[in-house]
Amino acid sequence: MADPVIPADLLDLLQRVDTPTVCNAIEVAQGKRGFDAYTKGTMQCSAPGQSMVGFARTAKIAGREPPTEDPDVIRARRLDYFRNMAEGPRPAIAVLEDVDFPNCVSAWWGEVHTNVHKGLGLNGALTNGVMRDLGDLAEGFPVVAGSIGPSHAFVHVRELGTPVTVFGMTVKQGDLVHADQHGGLVIPPEVIPDLKAAIEAMWAGEKIILGPAKEPDFDLDKLLAAWRAFEKART
C-alpha cells in the first residue's frame, strides 16, 4: 500500500496555522459541531507559536520504577523504537504515551532525543510525559508535553506502534496529527480533501465579525448587524 500523502498546498497551510484553527475548520468541513479528537487539558510547549503536522509514529514509555525485563530486551526494544521512528510516511510526529501518567517523572524529550528524532526526519513530539533541557532542544523541533522536569529516572520503552492516549486523545500509528501550544488533534482522513477550503471559508467568516470589531466606532448596533451577516454566511 502506498504511503498517504498530504497535498503540498494543504501541508504548507497546516504548518502555518494554529491548532484551534484546524479544530474549527474540521467542523466546517464536517458541517457540524462535536469534533472531539483533541487533547483535553493544559499542556506545556517548548516552542510557542510553532505548529507541527505529520503522521504519528507511536510508542509507550515508563520510568517511575526500574524495568523488570532483562536488560538485553530493554536495549533491543529501544533500538527497535528508533527503527520505528525512522520508518513510515513523512512528514511525521512522534506521539508518546507515558504510562505513569498522571505521575510522570521521566523526561524522554531533551537535547539528545530532540536532535536524534529531528535527524531521523520527524517534525516534533507530542506526549503526556515530561520534557527537559529547555533552551537546548533541537531548533525547529517543537515538543508539546504534559510537564517539565529535570530527570530521566528509569525511562524505558514499553510498546511500539500501538495506539496511545495523550490527554484524552487516542492516536493510532499513521494518524495525521496537528499540534502546537494549545495541544494536539487527529485530523479525520475524510476531511483532508476539503480542509484547505474549510480553513479559508472559516477565515472569511471571521472577517465579517473581526473587521467591524476592530474599527474605532464599533458598538452594539454594528455588532448585531455583523453577527446577522456572520450567521447567514455560516448557513
| Residue 20 preceded by cis peptide, ω within 30 | no
Annotated binding site: 132-133
Domain boundaries of the chain, sorted by first residue: 36-187, 193-234
Give the β-pairing of 44-45 and 176-180: unpaired
Question: Using 50, 70 and 90 to split pLDDT, how confident is the model at 4?
Answer: confident
The domain 36-187: what is its CATH number? Answer: 3.50.30.40
| Residue 163 preceded by cis peptide, ω within 30 | no
Q: Residue 5: what pLDDT? A: 83
Annotated binding site for Mg(2+): 133
Contact 117, 125 (CB under 8 A): yes
How crowded is residue 126: how many other Cβ atoms within 10 Å of its Cβ? 33
- Average pLDDT, integer, range 57-76: 97
Annotated binding site for substrate: 132
Burial of 37 (0-12, 13-18, 19+ CB in 10 A): middle
Query: pTM to 2 decimals?
Result: 0.94
Which residue is associated with the grid cell 479544530? 23
